[in-house]
C-alpha cells in the first residue's frame, strides 16, 4: 500500500487557490522529490500533508489517505509525530543537544534515563554526529555548525519515530560538503523512512530521489521515476524545466 494517497487536493489561502485538483500517491520507503518554479505550491503541499496548513491560514479540499485512512481521522498530534518536518533553516531549540533529542520522547511519555540516553546515542549515530561530538551532548545546539545543526534537526524529527519525513529545501543554506552529508544521510534513512523533499536543486533531485513530481501553478505536470523525469520527460514543460529553460 502507498503510504500516502493524495486525491483531488485543492488548497487556498483566502481566495487564492494555490494547489488545484492535485492527485498523487507516495511510495513507502522511497525518496520523492517535489520540483517546480518558485511559488508553484511545493511548500504548501508539505504543510498540507502534516496538517500545518490551517495554522498558516490555508484550507484544503480533497482527501489525503495516510496508510489507507483519511488523515483528518487521526489526532493532529499523532499526524505531527508520524509525519515529521524539517525546514530550510535549521532551527534547533536553544538548549543542549541532549535536550533537543529528548524533547519529543519525553513529550510522548518516556522518562527512563537509560532509554533516553539510548535515543540520544542512536539518533546521533544515525545522523553521523556521534563521533563528531566526542561525547559532548550537553553542548548548546546553536553552537553547532550550520550543517551539523541541520543533521541535528533531522535527528530531532527522527526521535518522534515518524514514518514520513518531509524536508523543505533542507540544504539551501548549506555548502557543498554539508549538502553531500545530508544527501548521503537521506539516502541511508530512506531504507527505514519515506522521504518527501522539496528542492530547487535539480541535480540534488536527480542524485537522491527515486520519484520526482514536477509541479507548475499548483498542478502536477508530471510524476514518475526520477530517471524518466530527467532523461525522458513526457511533457514539454517538464523537459523545459529540467533542462533549465525556465523556472
Ligand atoms: N501563509 C500564506 N498565506 C497566503 N499566501 C501564501 C501563504 N503561503 C504561501 N502563500 C502563497 O501560495 C503560493 C505558493 O507558495 P508556496 O510557498 O507553497 O510555493 P513554493 O513552490 O514552495 O515556493 P518557493 O519555491 O519559492 O518556496 C505563493 O503564491 C505564495 O505567495
pLDDT in tens, 197-236: 999 999 999 999 999 999 999 999 999 999 999 999 999 9
Residue 247: the pLDDT is: 56
Q: Is the CB of 23 under 6 A from ligand 1?
A: no
Q: Going by CA atoms, what residue is nearest to atom 5 of ligand 1?
A: 13
For cell 556521534, what's the residue?
A: 130
Q: Any idea where the domains of the chain sit in the sequence?
A: 2-243
Residue 145 to residue 18: CA distance in whole angstroms:
35
Query: How many angstroms is it from 204 CA to the middle of ligand 1?
Result: 22
Q: How far is the CA of 26 from the centre of ligand 1 (A)?
A: 22
Within the chain, which residues score under 50 in pLDDT?
Answer: none
**pLDDT attached to residue 139:** 96
What CATH superfamily is the domain 2-243?
P-loop containing nucleotide triphosphate hydrolases (3.40.50.300)
CA distance 41 to 27: 20
Per-residue pLDDT reduced to its tens digit, 112-131? 999 999 999 999 999 999 99
Q: Distance from the CA of 18 to the center of ligand 1, in angstroms?
A: 8
Atom of ligand 1 nearest to the CA of 19: 14
Q: Global pTM? A: 0.95
Asked whether 212 lines ligand 1 (CB < 6 A), one says: no
| Cβ of 56 less than 6 Å from ligand 1 | yes
120 contacts 65 by C-beta, under 8 angstroms? no
ipTM of the complex: 0.97
Distance CA(213)–CA(36), nearest Å, equals 8
> Do the beta carbons of residue 209 and residue 45 sit within 8 Å?
no
Amino acid at each position: 500500500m502507498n503510504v500516502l494517497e493524495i486525491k483531488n487536493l485543492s488548497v487556498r489561502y483566502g481566495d487564492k487557490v494555490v494547489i488545484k485538483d492535485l492527485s498523487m500517491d507516495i511510495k513507502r520507503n522511497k525518496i520523492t522529490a517535489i520540483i517546480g518554479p518558485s511559488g508553484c505550491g511545493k511548500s504548501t503541499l508539505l504543510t498540507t500533508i502534516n496538517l500545518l496548513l490551517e495554522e498558516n491560514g490555508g484550507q484544503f479540499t480533497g482527501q489525503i489517505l495516510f496508510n489507507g485512512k483519511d488523515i483528518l481521522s487521526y489526532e493532529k498530534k499523532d499526524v505531527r509525530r508520524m509525519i515529521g518536518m524539517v525546514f530550510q533553516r535549521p532551527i534547533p531549540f536553544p538548549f543542549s543537544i541532549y535536550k533537543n533529542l529528548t524533547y519529543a520522547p519525553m513529550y510522548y511519555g518516556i522518562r527512563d534515563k537509560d532509554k533516553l540516553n539510548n535515543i540520544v546515542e542512536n539518533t546521533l549515530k544515525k545522523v553521523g554526529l556521534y563521533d563528531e561530538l566526542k561525547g559532548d551532548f550537553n553542548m548548546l545546539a546553536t553552537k553547532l555548525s550550520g550543517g551539523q545543526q541541520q543533521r541535528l534537526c533531522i535527528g530531532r524529527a527522527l526521535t518522534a519515530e515518524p514514518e514520513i519525513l518531509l524536508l523543505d529545501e533542507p540544504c539551501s543554506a548549506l555548502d557543498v560538503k554539508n549538502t553531500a552529508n545530508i544527501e548521503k544521510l537521506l539516502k541511508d534513512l530512506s531504507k527505514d523512512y519515506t522521504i518527501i523533499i522539496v528542492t530547487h536543486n535539480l541535480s540534488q533531485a536527480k542524485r537522491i530521489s527515486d520519484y520526482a513530481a514536477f509541479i507548475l501553478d499548483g498542478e502536477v505536470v508530471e510524476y514518475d521515476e526520477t530517471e524518466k523525469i530527467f532523461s525522458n520527460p513526457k511533457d514539454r514543460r517538464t523537459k523545459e524545466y529540467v533542462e533549465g529553460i525556465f523556472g
